[in-house]
Amino acid sequence: MEELLDPKLGQIRVFLVHDDNKPRKLRHNLGHRRLLTFGGAYSNHIRAVAEAGRRHGIETIGVIRGEEHRPLNPVLAYAAACGMTLTYLDRATYRRKHTGEVQAGLRERWGDVVILPEGGSNAAAVRGCAELPGEIAGDYDVICCPVGTGGTLAGISAGLPEGRRAIGFAVLKGAGFLADEVARLQREAYRRTWSNWEINLDYHFGGYAKSTPDLERFIAKYRVERVYVAKMLYGILDLARQGAFAPGTRVVAVVTGQPSTPVDACGAPTGFDSGEPRCLK
């Protein structure tokens, strides 16, 4: 673990754990012959599924939001190079991708496929994320993560040792629905829920992929990924400054993205997808 040093923390100690949650979410979703999933044109999830398909010999189909544009951007070009078949849905249909009607149409076109939700948050993904707390070396009291739709938080909470708690920092505005989503995912994976977690809604900075001058200064100082990680870390430091953590608390912050994550021209998620950048081009 890498310790974050900042005078604002006082007696609170914060440790950074770098963990790419995309492969972790996919770990228990790979025992199938054909996978179909969804994503925007810059989706890290699409990239991760394509790469996993190449590595494990799984046929993959990526359903991309919006119209096809040539040449392909680097994310989609990489997915295609990994062997993923790319297809497209208009934005109105894409918003209904979770419905039985749309999914039946996809199965009719593509045959026998296992459908993964956008971002990969399902019961198998929750079980993958539940393995993270047990892999952390060192003692801690609180573990924090960014929240797009809640799959990572649902799993971390389920895997926590007794006496620890988890805090998720919502990265989108109006994210009150996420509490129900985390509970739903836990029930889907384990047929029970946990009470050792909470979601903080105060550090969205105006909405998904939105920012402020204050957050921009924070990003420049710490050189962190801007859509998810920066908002979580800013929230942790601000809560420490406010005295929200008891003196001596050891906080683990799960860093799920790198500074290069593309977020150009992005809007807010619908609530049915993973919080992937929803690029408006």
The pLDDT of residue 257? 74
16 forms beta bridges with 2, 253
Q: In sequence order, what DSSP letters do the residues of 119-180 get, joined into one string?
A: GG-SHHHHHHHTTHHHH--S--SEEEEEESSSHHHHHHHHHPPTT-EEEEEE-SSS-TTHHH
* All domains of the chain in start order, with CATH: 2-21+122-273 (3.40.50.1100), 34-111 (3.40.50.1100)
State the pLDDT at residue 259. 64
Q: What is the pTM of this model?
A: 0.85
The mean pLDDT values, 10 residues at a time, for the chain of 281 residues are: 91 95 91 95 91 97 96 96 98 96 97 94 96 95 94 97 97 95 97 98 94 97 94 97 97 83 40 37 28
pLDDT of residue 277: 39
Question: Among all chains, which residue has been given the structure tokens 């996919």?
Answer: 26
Q: Give just the sign of the alpha carbon dihedral 188, 194, 195, 197.
A: negative
pLDDT of residue 20: 85
